[in-house]
């Protein structure tokens, strides 16, 4: 009997040790996996900064691309194209996004509100290349040619869900007392929304715009089938030509948005597959510019949002 008890006892001790060992091993494994996942982050950032940093100079920002195989030149056309496309996207996406967010925040549980939030979720999950095909079908095909306009529309569809969701969340953070005070003073609903709720939530909403813009600026897939790329795109030249031809401002704007444009991610994609080392070097430089833009916007807006949320909740 005592022999059995001793055996059971020894067994229990051994099992306890085993469980403790398993505990320690598995818990440290989770920490290791976290560290492992961060390896690519630092590897990519470090590598892009070092490779790209070597090839960035002033020419990179102020010159048009040179013909293939020649050294020098810059990516001015891509920078201007990215500006055109993202500004257009912001113009297309921000007003409807904000208005829809007012509805979603004010009436979250009506059938339309539920459907709206559902569609927002679905839209945010649609692959960007599918959005590109949509913009191609809806804009490029009817217009008959590729254009910056179509690219802007595609990026707007990609930005829209982010804008609706962040705006909605920021509007919900505004204390109800502010709304009630405004309504109590006799202000109608629309005036309360636009001149009380919106300003109160504005800094959070602006960070939402920036996050959406950063995501859109790095998108490549939808631009393949909308803006196509155009290494000779130069706003300065278009404006000068328009002024000399005594064209109206509107027709100059129209000729800027109504032709194929280049963009940074598109240029990066094309250059990365070139056999010419100068182009590959420029690809690294473009990658650095894109990555820094996206990372800076992301980190700074996160800090901003967090402080803001803490202040409004506290």
Partner 1 sequence: MLKSKLSSRSRLGSLSRVFQHGDRPWQGVIIIISILVIILMLAIGGMLWVQSAGARVKFGWSFLAPTANPNWDPVNNNFQAWPFLFGTLLTSIFAILFALPISLGIAIFLAELCPAWLHTPLSWMVELLAAIPSVVYGLWGIFVFLPKVVAPVGVFLGDTLGQVPFLGSLLTGPIPASGASRLAASLILTIMIIPTIAAVSRDVFLAIPASQREASKALGATEWETIWQVLIPFGRSGILGAVILGLGRALGETMAVTMVIGNSIQGGVSLLQAGYTMASIIANEFAEAVSGLHTDSLIEIGLVLFIITLLLNVLARFLVWRATRQTPQEARV
Does 247 help bind partner 1 (rule: CB under 8 A)? no
DSSP designation for 261: B
Q: Does 291 engage in binding with partner 1 (CB under 8 A)?
A: yes
Q: How far is the CB of 305 from partner 1 (least distance, A)?
A: 11
| Nearest by Cα to 106 from 182, 192, 199, 187 | 192
Asked if 127 touches partner 1 (CB under 8 A), the answer is yes
Q: Does 299 bind partner 1 (CB under 8 A)?
A: yes
Q: At its nearest, how many Å lie between partner 1 and the CB of residue 2?
A: 26
Q: Which one among 10, 20, 232, 240 touches partner 1, defined by CB under 8 A?
A: 20
Lookup: tokens for 297: 């916007």
47 near partner 1, rule: CB under 8 A:
yes
Candidates 213, 181, 202, 225; CA nearest to 101 is: 202
Binding-site member from 7, 22, 143, 249 for partner 1 (CB under 8 A): 22
Q: Token digits for 124?
A: 């945010």
Among 1, 58, 67, 125, binds partner 1 (CB under 8 A): 125
- Please say which residue, 247 or 278, places its beta carbon nearer to partner 1: 278
> What b-and-e string marks burial along 195-205, b requiring 16 or more CB atoms within 10 Å of the CB?
ebbbebbeebb
Q: Would you state the structure tokens that stand for residue 261, as one six-digit string?
A: 């444009």
- Report d(CA 136, CA 221) in Å as an integer: 12
Query: Cα separation of 175 and 170, whole Å?
Result: 10
Site for partner 1 in 74-103 (CB under 8 A): 96, 99-100, 102-103
Q: Which stretch binds partner 1 (CB under 8 A): 171-179, 199-207, 231-239, 262-270?
A: 262-270
Interacting positions 185-224 with partner 1 (CB under 8 A):
188-191, 193, 214-215, 217-221, 224
131 within 8 A of 194, measured Cβ to Cβ: no
Shortest Å, Cβ 32 to partner 1: 8
């Amino acid at each position: 009997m005592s022999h059995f008890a001793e055996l059971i006892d020894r067994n229990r001790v051994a099992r306890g040790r085993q469980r403790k060992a398993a505990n320690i091993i598995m818990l440290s494994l989770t920490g290791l996996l976290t560290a492992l996942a961060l390896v690519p982050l630092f590897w990519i950032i470090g590598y892009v900064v070092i490779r790209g940093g070597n090839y960035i100079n002033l020419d990179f920002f102020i010159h048009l691309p040179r013909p293939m195989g020649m050294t020098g030149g810059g990516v001015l056309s891509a920078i201007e194209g990215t500006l055109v496309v993202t500004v257009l996207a912001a113009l297309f996406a921000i007003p409807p996004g904000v208005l829809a967010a007012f509805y979603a925040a004010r009436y979250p549980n009506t059938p339309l509100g539920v459907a709206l939030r559902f569609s927002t979720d679905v839209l945010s999950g649609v692959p960007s290349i599918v959005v590109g095909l949509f913009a191609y079908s809806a804009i490029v095909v009817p217009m008959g040619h590729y254009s910056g306009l179509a690219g802007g529309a595609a990026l707007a569809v990609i930005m829209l869900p982010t804008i609706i969701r962040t705006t909605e969340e920021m509007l919900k953070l505004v204390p109800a007392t502010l709304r009630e005070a405004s309504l109590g003073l006799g202000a109608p609903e629309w005036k309360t929304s636009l001149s009380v709720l919106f300003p109160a939530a504005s800094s959070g909403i602006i960070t939402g715009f920036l996050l959406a813009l950063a995501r859109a600026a790095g998108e490549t897939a939808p631009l393949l089938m909308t803006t196509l790329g155009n290494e000779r795109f130069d706003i300065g030249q278009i404006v000068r030509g328009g002024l000399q031809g005594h064209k109206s401002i509107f027709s100059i704007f129209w000729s800027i948005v109504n032709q194929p444009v280049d963009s940074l991610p598109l240029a990066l994609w094309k250059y990365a597959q070139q056999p010419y080392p100068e182009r590959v070097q420029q690809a690294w430089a473009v990658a650095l510019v894109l990555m820094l833009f996206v990372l800076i916007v992301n980190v700074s807006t996160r800090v901003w949002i967090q402080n803001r949320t803490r202040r409004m909740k506290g």
